[in-house]
Copies of this chain bind each other. A is one copy, B any other.
């Protein structure tokens, strides 16, 4: 192991000088800076993370808590996790991966062990047990998703209410009069993860505003659930010509079933999906969709949490504006 002391000797300076060259916390003459940098490269020096953390009281690590049970669409979670990791590296930080399995005690453990300077939580529930701990330990933290009471917390999420409104508006603009919202599994609603309810609320509001008659149904992830949900919807409301789908896993099954049952998309029924762009593009027909900006959510969470850890104030609520991309799955409603 190469130590800072060895670098100092090699460069003919004192240890503190090397330290300051690395941290940039005081001005160094061009000359010594260069010598030190050359020594660092030559010896292949990397600061010892533990020693640094001990002396400076900052670990340069962000903890990321991912859900065990997977309400969220897994590829979205993964994209967020990767965005968090690559963004963190831009701040010279690393990411510690935690699962919600360990429960609220993980918060205490991380906060007290100095393992991480900040936390990002990905599976926030409306009434999350960990939130009081976060507040009380004063940990720099960002939540991806919204709890019931975000006061004093830093949260990032897609504006799902606006998403619901956007989808309703698009269908109304196209002249549809009867529509349905197909959401995630019922268990997701019961667990109060929030995003599904918020989409529903926005959709309901705008549907009302625009005089749309609408139905809402949760839907499981498999083929059977999808075809069951679909047939029940059309049985109950044969006049439905517009579908909004917030369930990536069910999407291919839903589309297959639609095709199977002789309903052409978009001629007979228009589909608006709430999903990542690549899912929309890999479907047939390519789906008109509101994209879930996973990458941006991860990036923003890191930026916010870095600001907090540096002692700067951070915005309380960052709601990303949804964008609807019109593709081939939505068309004019009944003439």
Q: CB within 8 Å of B: which residues of A?
A: 1-2, 44-54, 59, 61, 64, 66, 68, 70, 74-75, 77-78, 81-82, 85-86, 89, 94-99, 101-102, 108-109, 112-115, 221-224, 227, 249, 252-253, 255-256, 259-260, 281-284
Contacts and interface: CB of A to CB of B under 8 A. Distances in A.
B96 A223 contact: no
Contact of A50 (B70, B102, B114): B114
Contact of A2 (B48, B51, B54, B112): B112
Contact of A256 (B48, B85, B89, B256): B256
A75 to B, nearest CB: 4
Contact of A98 (B45, B94, B102): B94
A108 B46 contact: yes
Contacts of A260: 256, 259-260
Contacts of A51: 50, 54
A333 to B, nearest CB: 25
Given A50-B59, A108-B44, A85 B114 contact: no
Contact of A255 (B94, B224, B256): B256
A260 B255 CA distance: 12
A227 B78 CA distance: 28
Contact of A252 (B68, B82, B252): B252
A282 B74 CA distance: 15
B222 A281 contact: yes
Contacts of A70: 78
A227 B283 CA distance: 11
Instruction: Please list the 9 inter-chain residue pairs (A to B) with the smallest Cβ-Cβ separation, ordered nearest first.
Output: A50-B53, A256-B256, A222-B282, A223-B284, A252-B252, A46-B112, A50-B54, A50-B50, A46-B113
